[in-house]
Amino acid sequence: MDLTALAKEHGTPLYVYSAEQIRYRLELFEGAFSGRAHTICYAVKANSSLAILKLLADAGAGFDIVSGGELERVRRASKAALKRVVFSGVGKQVWEIDAALKAGILLFNVESEAELSLLAERAKLAGVKARFALRVNPDVFAETHPYISTGLRDHKFGIAIGEARRIYRAAKKMGSLDAAGVSVHIGSQIRQVEPFGAALGRVLGLVKELREDGHSIRYVDAGGGLGIDYGMDASAVFDPAGQVERYAAALLAVMGDEGAHLLLEPGRFLVAQAGALVSRILFVKKNGTKTFVVTDAGMNDLIRPALYQAHHEIVPVKQPSGASEAVDIVGPVCESGDFFARDRVMPKVKVGDLVAVLDAGAYGMSLASNYNTRGRPAEVLVDGDRCDVIRRRETVKDMLALERMPG
Ligand SMILES: *Cc1c(COP(=O)(O)O)cnc(C)c1O
């Protein structure tokens, strides 16, 4: 697909996604776990576009949701997929629990004793049994950015694994609960596969104890978090198929002949590298010794560099022939943190050129905001020779529509 033509037709900044790449990533997962009962529950928060959810649902995926809003997205994308939904998150509200019970989701991943009591109460009121898994905290360290590491004892997520057996025992006395599984999620953008194996090993130890206690545990949820290569390390050869195989091997080795239905919650791995943010260069300016390339995309459109010090490869859409230079690529937002790259050596670009910020399909649009009263980008989905607008550009009118001035 000609990005220059797309940018001309739809304007910039513009998120462009490849349906084929998303399907391919899902197939890698399906293939790697085909030897056993499993469901891939795509983590909706990575990219919650209805069109992408529908594409994944049509390909058989389930979903990992973290809010009632995400539940409604899944319902709109595919009613049939509701029974393949797991509901995670530390702060579920009554209306969200009620909606999920009504929708008949597969599993609640419960993160505290108080939440478990609330779930029992709401299920009783609704006259149903709620299938739940405790999200246990395995106290496993995984190398990633501190903001997206979740599996340590001092994190807000989950329940200490040592407490779990007692809580399951207490839950047994509540008639409206069905202790159907155990879940874990140790963090995001984890490139090494060993921590996933270590965490799952601890979970399986607990599963054995729970079965001895008479619980019928049928699901083991290994969470998400498999990392991708954002291109920081130019010497590394990244091969997504090999990465999924190594990940599956690490999990399946500890699973052994454990027969439980395996749930997996990949987010980033399925969508990150299927998306780019296309942006036009507004100005090139020199301040002191530095050259700043100002793009029409900013941190409100893609916050990962500002929030996680994340690296994204940035390439000119048309390969210019001139020399390279070191530049800062920055957005128009009034924050010094509004940059996409610092001291990045790239081919010389000029005003009006297009650049593509690569690997922006995950935690890009889903984290976009209206900061500086900037409308969020349009999104297009490319599928073979089709290209559809899956979300139109936000207008100033859209942004002001909810506000009122008293008097
Ligand atoms: C965010 C999240 C995921 C997905 O993480 P990725 O790194 O995008 O794979 C899965 N499960 C839970 C509970 C999450 O919070």
pLDDT digits (tens, 9 = 90+) for 264-308: 999 999 999 999 999 999 999 999 999 999 999 999 999 999 999
- pLDDT of 235 over the 70 cut: no
- Cβ of residue 89 lying under 6 Å from some atom of ligand 1: no
Residue 229, pLDDT score:
92
Please give the structure tokens belonging to residue 328.
């800062």
45 lines ligand 1 (CB under 6 A): yes
Same domain, 7 and 119: no
Indicate whether 100 pLDDT > 70. yes
H or E element in which residue 100 lies: helix 94-103
CA distance 337 to 307: 9
Domain of 313 in residue numbering reads as 3-13+273-395
Asked whether the predicted pLDDT for residue 125 surpasses 90, the reply is yes
* The model's pTM: 0.96
Q: Residue 287's beta-bridge partner residues?
A: 290
Domain-ending residue, one of 217, 249, 270: 270
Tokens of 74: 């899944």
How much of the chain, in percent, has pLDDT values that exceed 70?
A: 98
The best mutation among 265, 359, 365 to test binding of ligand 1, ranked by most ligand atoms within 8 Å of the C-beta, falls on: 265
- 219: domain CATH number is 3.20.20.10
Domain boundary among 218, 237, 270: 270
Q: If you measure from the C-alpha of residue 350 to the centroid of ligand 1, how many angstroms do you get, rounded to a whole number?
A: 38
Question: Do the Cβ atoms of 219 and 180 come closer than 8 Å?
Answer: yes
Tell me the three state secondary structure of residue 359: coil
Q: In degrees rounded to 5, what are phi and psi of residue 278?
A: -95, 130
pLDDT above 90: residue 148: no
88 in ligand 1 pocket by Cβ < 6 Å?
yes
Q: How far is the CA of 301 from the centre of ligand 1 (A)?
A: 21
**DSSP category for residue 260:** P
Q: Known catalytic residue: 334? A: yes
Q: How far is the CA of 252 from the centre of ligand 1 (A)?
A: 20
Cis peptide bond prior to 266, omega within 30° of 0: no
Q: Residue 238 above 80 pLDDT? A: no
- How confident is the model at residue 92, as a pLDDT? 98
Instruction: Check if 183 has its Cβ closer than 6 Å to any atom of ligand 1.
Output: no
Within 10 angstroms of residue 263's Cβ, the number of other Cβ atoms is 25
Largest CA distance in the chain: 73
Query: How many domains does the chain contain in total?
Result: 2
Please give the structure tokens belonging to residue 403. Answer: 């506000």
